Structure 1
């Protein structure tokens, strides 16, 4: 993986004061090993992170160590335990891949270093306005405490050789599953993908005027969720295995789609279907479907804990993740296929050319195909949804 902008050219494009500050970061970072705690359940993502490690080692002498975790909450718990033990420096987590509830937990407990994002040279390519998805994480203002690195959108995958496109809205799934009994399921809501399926339905089905951007009270949750539970009660008998057993995660669900055990799967990566087809993990007849009103979208971020031992190195890695060459490489479906967080209008000609040269595929939607972005509800909604679902349907 090669960067299109040399380190020297990047420094020349900065103001003298900013360039001097960033040079100090680079000097401090050289020789550091950055322990990046990030979900390790996807090999393509793991390979991409390893490629970024090659870049920062070659350019800046920073070693990137991917600490593969199954749950981000484990990294949050480690930082919290270190603070409780008085370990306010030399922490074991230098950089962490955060989203939503975990970011809120770390922010509320003052476990984050920063703000630091505006000081990253490659932040120039970002839209960091208050209304940008780069500035809000599950309705919680980011305030520079975490840096974006990839876009996510909730989508359905279906085999067009077996079925027509799924329903245009979540309400339509009741009749659709009744006509296709046992051919649809969702991951267990203990997994974020299953929880997102419920959140997508909540957004569409909640009574008009429901404000999902604020934490729910007992009363507001019950009122908002009542139509959702009515919907799910009608849907459940038509799900795979009568809605009494669920795949653990989206990877297992994708395998079920490939094996023709079900006809529809779901993902938070619009390019996942095209990438899986290219890898021989899905038939080439699989296509992507998005509800007519749009789907939940968010940004994946990286953050630096307050006690990180190698904060300078972590900033170098966060900045590298925003380099236009690396972002274009990431969006390549033969590499990872995750959509970029950069603002195309801010890119120079070289950056725009890198994205224009990316390959396409029949199963790869464009940004226009994905339609409107529905904002994530406040993290407390997901917590309550998953707890309530377990109480209602796992007894």
Structure 2
């Protein structure tokens, strides 16, 4: 793998921006990039550690992961630094970010950039104005964050215990009635629980197209009414009568493994195969998605406006979208996250590397995951989770 990385990095220099990029490389050498990233998945943490090993060896740039339980922690820190007048030498160099957090930083002028088009490996991305790499929860990226991994909402079940799974989100009501106590979801204060609600909202909304616009009072009531009716019917048959919820997806996965519930969920289609390999799920665990598709998005990295090591962060962002890095990441034995690269922009050797990656009975293909549904505008998630808390927590 190392010699492949060297070849890819050397090839990436053959761009019109070579002189400017060399200046970035020179400035970055010796820097330590403090990457604020969700720390709840050990495989992701291990991948970030591998990234640090590679970027230090190739560029003299170290990566130090600052593990977050919620991305909003990092956003709040940048806001606090701006309020204190700390417009240089900020404590955060790069953030794994999406949706509402990106929107908040963009609106408040807290981002470095635009920088993505300056990355040599951006040649492998589809950066068209309507591409997934250019839109984050309906918000135009405009080069202010760089993609690095693909996420898609999936459900996991144990095929040895459950023979029939819900085909649609509407079907969860009758399924739960037939399997009382067998279903739950993370609390919507966690992004996984919020994604579950959004998945249902997209299917049940009278006009899902309104979800692509900022939420308004008039649209909210009409659009969410079927969702709350559905949830009120689902809740009595949920685990612990829908009054207690797992904190996050990892806890729910453990509940599935222990037989406490029959279904778990994830934004990583490879997580089930990975968990089986780690002994965290039975070998009979399998993945399913609603027949009309599921929410999908790209995970991005952004650089705060006051980053102390912006050059180093750009080098890391560029490394993350190198074809060999993306293939290493997609390997189920490493992380299993699907690549953000545009296959039509890859050469034959790169395509062959992806084609040769290990497979698993529990690892779905992109085709089997069905259509990718657009994320609602970030403002809908904020309103939705607040409303859920008001309705169902005391």
Range class of TM-score, shorter chain: over 0.9
Q: Does 1:5 align with 2:7?
A: yes
Check whether the contact 1:4–1:325 (CA below 8 A) recurs between aligned residues. Answer: no
After superposition, where does 1:1-395 map in structure 2 within 5 Å? 2=2, 3=5, 5-11=7-13, 13-15=14-16, 18-208=17-207, 210-395=209-394
Matches of 1:255 and 1:360 in 2, distance apart? 24
2:106 and 2:161 map into 1 onto residues whose CA distance is 46
**Paired residue secondary structure (1:368):** coil
Question: 2 CA distance for matches of 1:27 and 1:100?
Answer: 33
Shift of 1:146: 0.1
Instruction: Return 342-351 or 288-297, whichever deviates more.
Output: 342-351
Contact residue 149 and residue 302 of structure 1 kept, 8 A: yes
| 1:5 positional shift | 2.2
Contact residue 210 and residue 224 of structure 1 kept, 8 A: no
Q: CA RMSD in A?
A: 1.0
Q: Which runs of 4+ in 1 moved over 3 A?
A: 6-9
SS at match of 1:315: helix
- Asked if 2 retains the 8 angstrom alpha-carbon contact of 1:165 and 1:289, the reply is no
Equivalent position SS for 1:370 = coil
Q: 1:20 to 1:214 in 2, by over 3 A?
A: same
Please tell me whether the aligned partners of residues 159 and 263 of structure 1 are also in contact (alpha carbons under 8 angstroms): yes
- SS for the counterpart of 2:55 is helix
Task: State the distance in 2 between where 1:257 and 1:224 align.
Answer: 32
SS at match of 2:37: strand
Cα offsets for 1:202-242 (capped at 9, x unmatched): 00001136510111111211111100000000000000011
Per-residue deviation at 1:7? 3.5
Query: 1:39–1:72: 8 Å Cα contact kept in structure 2?
Result: yes
1 CA distance for matches of 2:25 and 2:371? 39
**SS in structure 2 opposite 1:171?**
coil
Name the stretch that deviates more: 289-298 or 160-169. 160-169
Q: Distance in 1 between matches of 2:233 and 2:65?
A: 43
Q: 1:120 to 1:159 in 2, by over 3 A?
A: same
Contact 1:184 1:240 in 2 (8 A): yes
d(CA) in 1 for partners of 2:87, 2:253: 42
Secondary structure of 1:363's aligned partner: coil
Provide TM-score, normalisation by structure 2: 0.98
SS of residue paired to 1:335: coil
| C-alpha distance in 2 between matches for 1:200 and 1:151 | 17
Query: What CA deviation, in whole Å up to 9, does each residue of 1:150-187 have, x standing for no partner?
Result: 00000000111111241111111111100000001000
Task: Tell me how far apart the structure 2 counterparts of residues 319 and 225 of structure 1 sit (CA, whole Å).
Answer: 40
In structure 2, stretches of 5+ residues that fail to align are none
* Secondary structure of the corresponding residue to residue 149 of structure 1: strand
Deviations 1:177-204 (A, max 9, x none): 0000000100011101011100000000
User: What is the number of equivalent residue pairs in this alignment?
Assistant: 392
Query: Aligned equivalents of 2:76 and 2:64: distance in 1?
Result: 19
SS of residue matched to 2:170: helix
Using structure 1 for the length normalisation, give the TM-score: 0.98
Q: Larger deviation: 311-320 or 345-354?
A: 345-354
Q: Deviations over 1:54-87 (max 9, x none)?
A: 0110000011111111111111111111111111
Structure 1: state its 5+ residue gaps. Answer: none
- Name the SS of the counterpart of 1:36 in structure 2: strand
SS in 2 for 1:170: coil
Aligned partners of 1:383 and 1:10: how far apart in 2?
40
Kindly provide the CA deviation profile for residues 29-71 of structure 1, in whole angstroms up to 9, marking residues without a partner as x.
0011111111111110000000000011000001111111111
